[in-house]
Every structure is written in structure tokens, then in C-alpha cells.
Amino acid sequence: MPVVFDGIGKDAWEMSLASLAPRGLMVTFGNASGKVPPFDINRLSAMGSLYVTRPTLMTYTADSGEMRKSANDLFKKVINGDAHGHQILLSFRGLLLRGCVVAWTRVVSCGGAVA
């Protein structure tokens, strides 16, 4: 898979990493089963030059103007019928999608490609 969004944490970490395609992006945003254990970062290169990010709500909502813009963007999509249930759920779980798009854009702009 080119991207994995993991809100489970410890119990899904290894399986999520293993499911990524070369140059894939792992977005870990929750710890439902516990914290992800420490790991050797060199494994990311050995598994296909993988990317990992851990976005948090506070980073994307620290500025009230940015938080309002993110919320307005989401509500416009809902009103226009452009957002589906799963997108709304993920957006409300911390407005993380915006951060994930930024992260993925950075991956692609650095030469990463979806396999």
C-alpha cells in the first residue's frame, strides 16, 4: 500500500509497516493498543525507503486561524456533498487529514512516488 493510517499503535505497528509499498508513508495517529515500541530507524531504508510521520492535533490547531480554516474547509465539503462518512470521521479525529496531505506532498516533492 502507498499509505497506511494507523490509529491502533503497538498491536498494528509491524503489520502496518510490512504492508507498505516501497517509498510508502506510515501515518501513525493513535495508541489504542499502546504506544509504538522503540524501533531501529534503519529498518525504514531496509524495508523500501519508507516514511513515517506522527501528526498531532495540537500542531495543526495551535494557531486559531489555521484551526478555523481547517474546520471551514471540512464543513464546506460536508455541505457540498464532497466529504464521505469515513473522511468526516477521520477529519474530526483531529483534523489529521490536512497534516497527512502536507506530509504526502512533501514525500512526492522529494522524489518519492507511489508504486
DSSP per residue, 13-63: HHHHHHTPPTT-EEEE---TT-PPPP--THHHHHTTS-EEE---HHHHHSS
Digit-coded pLDDT (tens) for 25-83:
998 988 889 999 999 999 999 999 999 999 887 787 788 888 788 778 877 777 777 76
Give φ, ψ of 3 to 5 degrees.
Answer: -140, 140
With a cut of 90, say whether residue 5 has pLDDT above it: no
Task: Output 110 or 14, whichever has higher pLDDT.
Answer: 14
Q: What is the pLDDT of residue 113?
A: 47
Q: What is the pLDDT of residue 114?
A: 44
Instruction: Please identify which residue in the block is written with the cell numbers 509491524.
Output: 14
Q: What is the pLDDT of residue 47?
A: 96
